[in-house]
A and B are shown apart, each in its own frame.
Chain A
């Protein structure tokens, strides 16, 4: 069980949270509604093997969104 530090509530068990995944790169306004660019934004992922920044949501707590850095090889949460 991961212990995730919510910036408001402190350390809590992983099943209070929902992982929001890696941050996505927004296309600039010039891209408009180009299908390939939107698909890249909405669906494609770096799926990093190693340290990655990710969003988490304290779903069963204060309901805040925040970012942590986690190593996807061993789930260690990095400072």
Chain B
């Protein structure tokens, strides 16, 4: 069923009691042309593009829990392209163009709100870096401006007037095409669109190991038995290490907690995303009025999925030093996700050392924004065996060649 103003009116007349299910709950088949492990944003987007762009017909997305229930549900939904390296900038800029069309593409409102992002610059080193980034982004057509402190305060009345703080605001950067989206809607939209093309989304079906014969993948062992397939795509975030070990290789990835908090709902007070890069803290206001606040990653690997108090203290202190008006705001919830932090903070979207196995892991603190472009690129890789032209910098082989691509623009580090 196509969602439209007409379908809404029709269903309103019948009291919204007859909406069809958005996707099926299909039984697990014994064999598929491709199996995607992990029904988060990346897994679902990949299934959608495999079916739509590459004509594969028997595709399964398997998840040990429910779809969109992992890091897709836990992130702080920031979508932007102001990365450090040129190939990263190009990749995420192409991602933003997909986001701009996504609600129409999927016939599902993902509530993409392109409200822009302001980074508050507190050191001369960061200011030099942002000026270089401005020039590099301009070369590839991404609007990005430097603001004076006065211009930043005009755009951001919540920012405290100039005061003797330890690290005063020296300048700000303005990234007008950055935005936020509704995280659940992204998973649901891709799930519904993929399901409509015949993709089997099988939930509560944990993939326990990858079975190989010689150098080739022949299938996966699941909680409901063996599934034969010549192509497996791994979109499992923090569990990448466990699954890679079952296929007999290791990855340059550590699992680390990343925290977020939301405040009580407030009246509209903030219409942009604010980032304080010096303290890896950023926040925006949700449609419900809550401030959604992201902290830095914990400083040591852990699967505990609960962040350290030291990080909470640092995030709150950074926010209050520049936004003292928020001092009496109460926090409603705090949570952490387990992120898959790659050694060079650049993700891995690459063939694995085992033929037939493709990896989309190491997204770290930045996976959500990459869902649409990551799905396009991974589907291309799974279907053709060759990397997508925009994702050639994401190959695992960069490490053996001694050419890691060190990124800095993530919540997972402070530079």
A residues at B contact (CB < 8 Å):
1-2, 13-15, 18-19, 21-22, 35-36, 38-40, 42-47, 49, 54, 72-75
Bound-complex Cα distance A74 to B306 (A): 9
Number of A-B residue pairs having CB atoms within 8 Å of each other in the complex: 71
| A71, chain B: closest CB distance, angstroms | 9
Do A38 and B402 form a contact, CB below 8 Å, given A19-B300, A49-B241?
Answer: yes
B404 at the interface (CB under 8 A from A): yes
Within 8 A of A (CB), among B292-306: 299-304
Q: Which residues of B contact A19 (CB under 8 A)?
A: 299-301
Choose one: A15, A46, A73; the contact of B250 (CB below 8 Å): A46
| A45, chain B: closest CB distance, angstroms | 6
Choose one: B242, B302, B303, B404; the contact of A43 (CB below 8 Å): B404
Q: Which residues of B contact A49 (CB under 8 A)?
A: 241-242, 255, 303
B278 at the interface (CB under 8 A from A): no
Closest 4 A/B residue pairs (Cβ): A47-B241, A43-B252, A19-B300, A44-B250
Choose one: B242, B252, B253, B310; the contact of A14 (CB below 8 Å): B310
B residues at A contact (CB < 8 Å):
240-242, 245, 250-255, 299-304, 308-310, 343, 399-402, 404
21 CB-based A-B contacts, threshold 8 Å: A1-B309, A14-B299, A15-B310, A21-B300, A36-B400, A38-B400, A38-B402, A39-B399, A43-B343, A43-B399, A44-B251, A45-B250, A45-B252, A47-B240, A47-B253, A47-B254, A49-B241, A54-B300, A72-B255, A73-B303, A74-B304
Do A1 and B399 form a contact, CB below 8 Å, given A21-B254, A75-B304?
Answer: no
A47 in contact with B255 (CB, 8 Å)? yes
Q: Which residues of B contact A40 (CB under 8 A)?
A: 250
B310 in contact with A35 (CB, 8 Å)? no
Specify which of A19, A21, A39 lies most central, judged by the most chain B CB atoms within 10 Å of its CB: A39
Q: Which residues of B contact A2 (CB under 8 A)?
A: 308
| B359, chain A: closest CB distance, angstroms | 13
| B245, chain A: closest CB distance, angstroms | 8
B241 in contact with A14 (CB, 8 Å)? no
Bound-complex Cα distance A12 to B304 (A): 21
Bound-complex Cα distance A38 to B343 (A): 14
Choose one: B241, B242, B300; the contact of A45 (CB below 8 Å): B241
B302 in contact with A72 (CB, 8 Å)? yes
| A22, chain B: closest CB distance, angstroms | 8
A73 in contact with B400 (CB, 8 Å)? no
Bound-complex Cα distance A13 to B250 (A): 32
| B234, chain A: closest CB distance, angstroms | 14
Specify which of A18, A38, A75 lies most central, judged by the most chain B CB atoms within 10 Å of its CB: A75
| B71, chain A: closest CB distance, angstroms | 16
